[in-house]
Amino acid sequence: MEGALSNSNFIKNIVMDDLESGKVREVITRFPPEPNGYLHIGHAKSICLNFELAQDVGGKTNLRFDDTNPTKEDEEYVKSIQEDVRWLCFAWDNLCFASDYFDQMYERAVLLIKKGLAYVCDLSAEEMRQMRGTLTSPGKESPYRNRSVDENLDLFDRMKSGEFADGSKVLRAKIDMASPNLNLRDPVLYRISHATHHRTGNVWAIYPMYDFAHPLEDAIEGVTHSVCTLEFEDHRPLYDWVVEQCEMPNRPRQYEFARLNMTNTVMSKRKLKLLVDQQVVDGWDDPRMPTIAGLRRRGYTPESIRNFAREIGVAKSNSVVDERMLEYFVREDLKLKALRSMAILRPLKVVITNYPEGQVEWLDAENNAENPEMGTRKIPFSREIYIEQDDFMESPPPKYFRLFPGNEVRLKHAYFIRCEEVIKDDSGRVVELRCMYDPETKSGSGFTGRKVKGTIHWVDASFAYPAEFRLYEPLINDDEEGVDEDFLAHLNPQSLEVIQGYVENGLKDVAAMDKFQFFRHGYFSVDPKLSTPGKPVFNLVVSLKSSFQI
C-alpha cells in the first residue's frame, strides 16, 4: 500500500515549524518549469516535493510556467509539461504563467527606478562582463549608474516601446559592485528582445530576467515556500532584495535542495536535447530517455515514480542515486498489477515425440499467482512448442537447472519433459530438440512422484503469435572515466535491441500501455507508438532480478 504521507525531509520540517509557529497559515508552493524542454525524472522529484509539501498540510500548489525568455520557449513544451504533471496524478490549484504578470513586473521595475534602485545601462554585454570584476576582485561601477530618475524612467519606457535594438540597453539594479556575491553586482533586471513570445506575441520588447521575475511571481501568487535547486542558493539575497525593495505584500521564502542525479544516464535538459537533436534516440519520449514521457512510454507507472521520489529523500548534498532503486519501485508496483504470461524471445523448437499428433489440450494458467483476483486463463499445449534458447545447453556447467540431454524439467503450467535428442543444422547449431513428456506430471494433478530442479516457460508452436520485443539497457555506461565531460562518447551501443519472438495467442490484440510480466524475463509494456492491432510491440520496462549466472 502506498504511504499516504511523504517521508520527512528538512524542507517539510521547515513547513511544519512555520505552521506550528503561526508564521504561515496556509502553505502555498509552486512547480515553476521553463517551457523549453521536456520534464525528466529530476523534475518529478521536484514535482512530488512541491505538491506533497502542500498536499500533506492542506495547502495549495500552482503549476507556473516561467516563460520569461521567448527565444527558448515553445508551446509544445507547455503542453507536454501539463500532460506529465497530470500523468503523475497531481492537480494544480492554479495554472499560471509568468507572462501574465509582465505588466505588474514592469510597474515594480518603475518603482525601483523611482526609488533610485535601478538604472538603464548602455554598456555592451562584453563591457559589462569586464566591469563585473572577478571572484576575488570587486567590479567597477557603470558610467550610467547615476543617471537621473527622470532619464531612467524615460529610457525604460522607450525600451518597452521597442525603440532600441536588442542588446543596446538593459535595466540594472543598483546594489553593490563590490559585493563578494557576484549576483549582487548590479544584476540585469530587464533586457531588450524583439522576439515573439508564445503567449504575449509582440506586445513586449523587453523581458524580465529570472532573478527579478521569479521572486515577484512567487510573491504575486502568495507562495509561502519557494523551493528550488542548490545552484540558486547564492541568488537568495537577491531574491529577498527584490521582494523587499519592490514592496511586495507577501514575503515568500526560498529553500534549496539538491537536484537528482542517477547512474547510467544524463539529467540535464541540454544533454537530453542533444540526444534528441543528434538522433541518438527516437525523440523526447524514447523509452531509454529519463524523461517523464520516455519513462511513461517505456512502461513505468506514476505510482512507481512517486514512490521512488519519496524514498530517495530531499537533502542538500549532491548525490547520485543508483538507477536500480528506480527499477526496484517499478517491479514492486507492477508485481500485483501485471498479468503473467509466457513469451519466447529467442525461440528453440521442441518436439514432444510421445505426444499424440493433432491433439491440443487447454491448460489452466493463473493470470497472477500473487494476485488471485486476476483470475485464470486457458493456454493451448500440443506436440510442438517453442522454448527459450537460453533454456537449453548441450554441455551445461554445474547447477544448470534447465534442459540438457537426459535432463528433465517442468514446463510451466504443463508437464515434465525430458530431453532425448538434439538436432543440429549443417553448421552444428542446435535447431530443434526431441523430448518425451510424462502424462502423469500434469500441472495441477497433484503429482509428487519426483521433483525437477527447473521450471521453464514455453509457447505452443501452432498457436504462438509473432511479436516484437524491444530490450533496453542504460543509455550511458558511466562507470568509465570522463563521462561527464563527453557523455556522447560513452553511449551504450547496446541500449536498444529489437528482436522478433512469440507471445501467447491471447496477446495478439493488446492495447497500448498494457503491462505484462513475461515469465522469467521481466515486465513489459505495449509501445503506444509502434504497436498496432495484430502486430504487438513490447517494451522491456525492467527485467526480473536473477541470481543465476553461468
Question: Nearer Cβ to RNA, position 298 or 310?
Answer: 310
| Residue 545 DSSP symbol | P
Piece of 19-27, 278-286, 331-339, 378-386 that binds RNA (CB under 7 A): 331-339
Q: Classify burial at 412, counting beta carbons within 10 Å of its beta carbon; exposed 0-12, middle 13-18, buried 19 or more.
A: middle
Write out the binding residues for RNA, residues 11-30 only, by CB under 7 A. 13
Phi and psi, residue 517, nearest 5°: -110, 115
Question: Nearer Cβ to RNA, position 416 or 465?
Answer: 416
Shortest separation between residue 318's beta carbon and RNA, angstroms: 5
Q: Which three cell numbers stand for residue 63?
A: 503549476
Question: Nearer Cβ to RNA, position 26 or 322?
Answer: 322
Write out the binding residues for RNA, residues 349-388 only, by CB under 7 A. 368-370
Q: Is 215 helix (H, G, I), strand (E, B) or coil?
A: helix
Shortest separation between residue 41's beta carbon and RNA, angstroms: 13
- For residue 269, indicate whether it is catalytic: yes
Question: Nearer Cβ to RNA, position 167 or 535?
Answer: 167
Shortest separation between residue 201's beta carbon and RNA, angstroms: 17
Q: Which of 72, 140, 158, 259 is the catalytic position?
A: 259
**Cβ pair 234, 107 in contact under 8 A:** no
Residues 6 or more apart whose CB falls under 8 angstroms from that of 322 comprise 262, 263
| Per rule CB under 7 A, count of chain residues that contact RNA | 91
Question: Nearer Cβ to RNA, position 25 or 451?
Answer: 451
Write out the binding residues for RNA, residues 395-454 only, by CB under 7 A. 399-402, 410, 412-413, 442-445, 454
Using CB under 7 A, pick the residue from 325, 423, 488, 511 that binds RNA.
325
DSSP β-ladder status, 515-518 and 496-503: unpaired
Q: Which of 64, 108, 185, 269 is the catalytic position?
A: 269
Shortest separation between residue 439's beta carbon and RNA, angstroms: 13
Question: Nearer Cβ to RNA, position 320 or 423?
Answer: 320
Shortest separation between residue 338's beta carbon and RNA, angstroms: 9
Using CB under 7 A, pick the residue from 21, 278, 395, 546 that binds RNA.
546
Using CB under 7 A, pick the residue from 114, 194, 335, 424 that binds RNA.
335
Query: Beta-strand (E) ranges in 258-415?
Result: 339-341, 343-344, 347-352, 361-366, 376-381, 384-388, 408-411
Write out the binding residues for RNA, residues 462-491 only, by CB under 7 A. none
Cα separation of 455 and 444, whole Å? Answer: 14
Q: Tell me, rounded to whole angstroms, the distance of Cα 182 from its chain centroid.
A: 33
Write out the binding residues for RNA, residues 145-174 only, by CB under 7 A. 166-170
Binding mask 38-77 for RNA (x = CB under 7 A): ----------------------------x-xx--x-----
Beta bridge mates, 291: 40
Using CB under 7 A, pick the residue from 76, 163, 233, 440 that binds RNA.
233
**Cβ pair 350, 432 in contact under 8 A:** yes
**Residue 212 one-letter amino acid:** F
Question: Which CA distances in Å does 46 have to 29, 85, 312, 314?
Answer: 11, 11, 12, 9
**Cβ pair 514, 299 in contact under 8 A:** no
Piece of 87-95, 152-160, 183-191, 284-292 that binds RNA (CB under 7 A): 183-191
For the chain, the 3-state helix, strand and coil shares in percent, each to the nearest 5, are: 30, 25, 45
Piece of 89-97, 226-234, 278-286, 349-357 that binds RNA (CB under 7 A): 226-234
Using CB under 7 A, pick the residue from 37, 187, 347, 501 that binds RNA.
187
Question: Nearer Cβ to RNA, position 136 or 278?
Answer: 136
Question: Nearer Cβ to RNA, position 210 or 297?
Answer: 210
Q: Terminal CA-to-CA distance of the chain, rounded, Å? A: 36
Using CB under 7 A, pick the residue from 51, 92, 232, 300 that binds RNA.
232
Shortest separation between residue 100's beta carbon and RNA, angstroms: 15
Using CB under 7 A, pick the residue from 51, 92, 156, 207 that binds RNA.
207
The answer to the question of residue 511 lying near RNA (CB under 7 A) is no
| Residue 281 DSSP symbol | S
DSSP β-ladder status, 60-65 and 28-31: parallel
Query: Beta-strand (E) ranges in 1-101?
Result: 28-31, 60-65, 94-97
Q: Which three cell numbers stand for residue 144?
A: 550610467
Using CB under 7 A, pick the residue from 38, 51, 210, 355 that binds RNA.
210
Q: Which of 12, 30, 34, 298 is the catalytic position?
A: 34
Using CB under 7 A, pick the residue from 93, 234, 303, 514 that binds RNA.
234
**Cβ pair 316, 542 in contact under 8 A:** no
**Cβ pair 357, 316 in contact under 8 A:** no
Task: Give Rg (Cα) of the chain.
Answer: 31
**Cβ pair 229, 200 in contact under 8 A:** no
Binding mask 305-324 for RNA (x = CB under 7 A): ------xxxxxxxxxxxx-x
Write out the binding residues for RNA, residues 88-127 only, by CB under 7 A. 123-125
Q: Which three cell numbers stand for residue 180?
A: 563578494
Residues 6 or more apart whose CB falls under 8 angstroms from that of 178 comprise 133, 138, 139, 185
In this structure, is the dihedral angle defined by the CA atoms of residues 236, 239, 241 and 244, taken in order, positive or negative? negative
Shortest separation between residue 235's beta carbon and RNA, angstroms: 6
Shortest separation between residue 279's beta carbon and RNA, angstroms: 24
Q: Which sequence positions are flagged as catalytic?
A: 34, 259, 269
